[in-house]
C-alpha cells in the first residue's frame, strides 16, 4: 500500500466554481488561469472542467505546450510574455498568445524573421510596479506594435495590486483602473483587467477578458472579509491522510521536535502521515485546524518532514482514520484552505501550489 496521504481533486467543484465565475463575469470572456500547474491541481486534471471557459492563461512555456496537446484550438496566453527571442518560434509553432510588458520584448518582435502573426496583450504598469509600461510610455509601445506585421491583434492589459483589499484609500482600486483608462483613451482594442478578486468584488469594472485563477480553485481572494462559501465557491483540492500511530501523553510530557508543545493534562495524540515534505507548512503552529473523521481538531507541536501530530483527546479515533489537512472530508465536512492558510500566516494560493510531487493526486467527482 502507498503511504496514505493524497490530494483529491474535485471535478464538480471545479465546474461549480467556473459557473460562479461566469455569473460574475457577465459578458466578458473568462480566461481560466492555470499557471503553477493549475495552482497545484495538475493542468491535465482541471482541463476538462475549464474547457468551457474562453481560453487559458499561464506563464511557463513547457506548461503551455503540455496544455496545447489537450487544447488544440483555443487561446493560450502567456502572462509574463516571452523570456527569450527564440520563444517566438515556439509561440508560432504552438499558437500561443503572449503579454508584452517591456521594451526588450518589442525589440524581439521587431527582429522576428518568421511568418507567424501573434495575438499580443500589451501590459501597462498602472501602479503595481511589477510588469508593464508606465502610462506615459504606453502609447508609444502601442503604436509601435500596431505597425508590426507580426502582430495580428493587440489588446490592453493591466493587473491590480489590491483588488482584494483597500489600499489606495477610500477609492479602493479605482486609482489604478482610472490610470489605465486614461492612458488607453482613444486607442482601439479590448481590455483585460480583472483577476478573481476584481471579478468578484468589483464586477462593474469593464474587462473584456477576465483572468480568473484562485476563485476557480475554491479559495476566497479576500478571505476573511468573505469566505469561499460566501462567494458560493467549493473546495477543489482536499489534502487527506490517516492516523498511523497513537500516543497517550501525561501532563508535562512534550510532543514533537523541539518539545514546543507540553501537555497540561493527559492527552491522546494522533500521528498523521503528512509533513512539510508533502507541502504542509512547517510554520503552521499548534492550534491550526484539521478534521479527524470529519470533526474539527487541531495540530499539536512542530510539523516534521513526514509527520505531524493532532489532538485526539476528544475524539474516538483509531489507526487508519481519516485526517483532512484542508478541503473536504469523505464525511462531507469542509475545512477551508483559507482558514488553514490564515493560521499558518499565508494564503490558500501557497498551500495548493506547495503540495509536493510525492503526494498522489486522485481526481474524483
Q: Does residue 218 bind ligand PLP (CB under 6 A)?
A: no
Q: Does residue 71 bind ligand PLP (CB under 6 A)?
A: no
Q: Does residue 212 bind ligand PLP (CB under 6 A)?
A: yes
Query: Residue 100 to residues 80, 113, 137: CA-CA distances in angstroms?
Result: 7, 18, 13
- The number of residues that bind ligand PLP (CB under 6 A) is 12
Q: Does residue 207 bind ligand PLP (CB under 6 A)?
A: no
Residue 109, φ and ψ in degrees, nearest 5? -65, -40
DSSP string, 32-49: EE-HHHHHTT-HHHHHHH
Q: Does residue 211 bind ligand PLP (CB under 6 A)?
A: yes
CB of 340 to ligand PLP, least distance (A): 18
Binds ligand PLP (CB under 6 A): choice among 20, 21, 76, 79:
79
Q: How far apart are CA 274 and CA 241, in angstroms?
A: 7
Please report the sign of the dihedral spanned by the C-alpha atoms of residue 191, residue 197, residue 200, residue 201.
Answer: negative
For ligand PLP, the closer of residues 53 and 213 by Cβ is 213
What are the residue ranges of helices labelled H in the chain?
11-25, 35-39, 43-50, 61-70, 87-94, 103-110, 135-146, 174-184, 196-201, 228-231, 337-343, 348-354
Binds ligand PLP (CB under 6 A): choice among 25, 196, 241, 293:
196
Query: Residue 85 to residues 81, 94, 112, 118: CA-CA distances in angstroms?
Result: 11, 15, 8, 14
CB of 196 to ligand PLP, least distance (A): 3
CB of 121 to ligand PLP, least distance (A): 9
For ligand PLP, the closer of residues 213 and 218 by Cβ is 213
For ligand PLP, the closer of residues 221 and 256 by Cβ is 221
Q: Does residue 124 bind ligand PLP (CB under 6 A)?
A: no
CB atoms within 10 A of CB 206: 13
Q: Which stretch binds ligand PLP (CB under 6 A): 12-20, 105-113, 192-200, 230-238?
A: 192-200
Q: How far apart are CA 198 and CA 160, in angstroms?
A: 8
CB of 199 to ligand PLP, least distance (A): 7
Burial annotation 265-291 (CB, 10 A radius, 16+ → b, else e): eebbbbbbbbbbebbbbeebbbebbbb
Residues forming the active site: 35, 257
Q: Which stretch binds ligand PLP (CB under 6 A): 5-13, 81-89, 210-218, 245-253?
A: 210-218
Q: Which stretch binds ligand PLP (CB under 6 A): 138-146, 147-155, 178-186, 205-213?
A: 205-213
Q: Does residue 213 bind ligand PLP (CB under 6 A)?
A: yes
Residues that bind ligand PLP (CB under 6 A): 33, 35, 79, 159, 195-197, 211-214, 221
Amino acid at each position: 500500500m502507498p503511504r496514505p496521504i493524497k490530494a483529491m481533486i474535485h471535478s464538480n467543484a471545479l465546474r461549480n466554481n467556473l459557473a460562479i465565475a461566469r455569473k460574475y463575469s457577465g459578458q466578458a470572456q473568462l480566461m481560466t488561469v492555470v499557471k503553477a500547474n493549475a495552482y497545484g491541481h495538475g493542468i491535465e486534471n482541471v482541463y476538462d472542467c475549464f474547457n468551457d471557459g474562453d481560453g487559458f492563461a499561464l506563464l511557463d512555456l513547457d506548461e503551455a505546450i503540455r496544455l496545447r496537446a489537450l487544447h488544440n484550438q483555443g487561446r493560450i496566453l502567456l502572462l509574463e510574455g516571452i523570456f527569450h527571442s527564440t520563444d517566438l518560434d515556439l509561440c508560432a509553432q504552438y499558437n500561443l498568445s503572449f503579454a508584452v510588458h517591456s521594451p526588450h520584448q518589442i525589440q524581439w518582435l521587431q527582429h522576428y524573421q518568421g511568418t507567424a502573426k501573434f495575438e499580443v496583450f500589451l501590459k501597462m504598469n498602472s501602479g503595481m510596479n511589477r510588469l508593464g509600461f508606465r502610462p506615459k510610455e504606453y502609447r508609444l509601445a502601442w503604436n509601435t506594435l500596431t505597425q508590426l506585421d507580426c502582430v495580428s491583434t493587440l489588446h490592453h492589459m493591466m493587473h491590480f495590486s489590491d483588488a482584494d483589499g483597500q489600499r489606495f484609500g477610500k477609492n479602493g482600486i479605482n486609482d489604478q483602473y482610472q490610470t489605465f483608462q486614461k492612458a488607453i483613451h482613444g486607442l482601439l482594442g479590448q481590455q483585460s483587467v480583472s483577476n478573481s478578486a476584481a471579478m468578484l468584488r468589483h464586477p462593474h469594472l469593464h474587462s473584456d477578458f477576465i483572468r480568473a485563477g484562485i476563485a476557480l480553485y475554491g479559495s476566497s481572494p479576500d478571505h476573511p472579509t468573505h469566505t469561499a462559501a460566501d462567494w458560493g465557491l467549493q473546495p477543489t483540492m482536499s489534502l487527506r491522510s490517516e492516523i498511523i500511530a497513537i500516543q497517550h501523553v501525561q501532563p508535562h510530557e512534550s510532543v514533537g521536535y523541539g518539545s514546543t508543545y507540553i501537555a497540561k493534562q493527559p492527552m491522546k495524540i494522533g500521528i498523521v502521515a503528512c509533513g512539510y515534505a508533502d507541502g504542509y507548512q512547517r510554520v503552521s503552529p499548534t492550534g491550526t485546524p484539521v478534521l479527524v473523521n470529519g470533526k474539527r481538531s487541531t495540530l499539536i507541536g512542530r510539523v516534521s518532514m513526514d509527520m505531524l501530530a493532532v489532538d485526539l483527546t476528544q475524539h474516538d479515533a483509531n489507526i487508519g482514520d481519516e485526517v483532512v489537512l484542508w478541503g473536504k472530508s469523505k464525511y462531507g465536512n469542509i475545512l477551508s484552505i483559507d482558514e488553514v492558510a490564515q493560521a499558518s500566516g499565508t494564503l490558500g494560493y501557497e498551500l495548493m501550489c506547495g503540495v509536493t510531487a510525492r503526494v498522489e493526486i486522485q481526481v474524483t467527482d
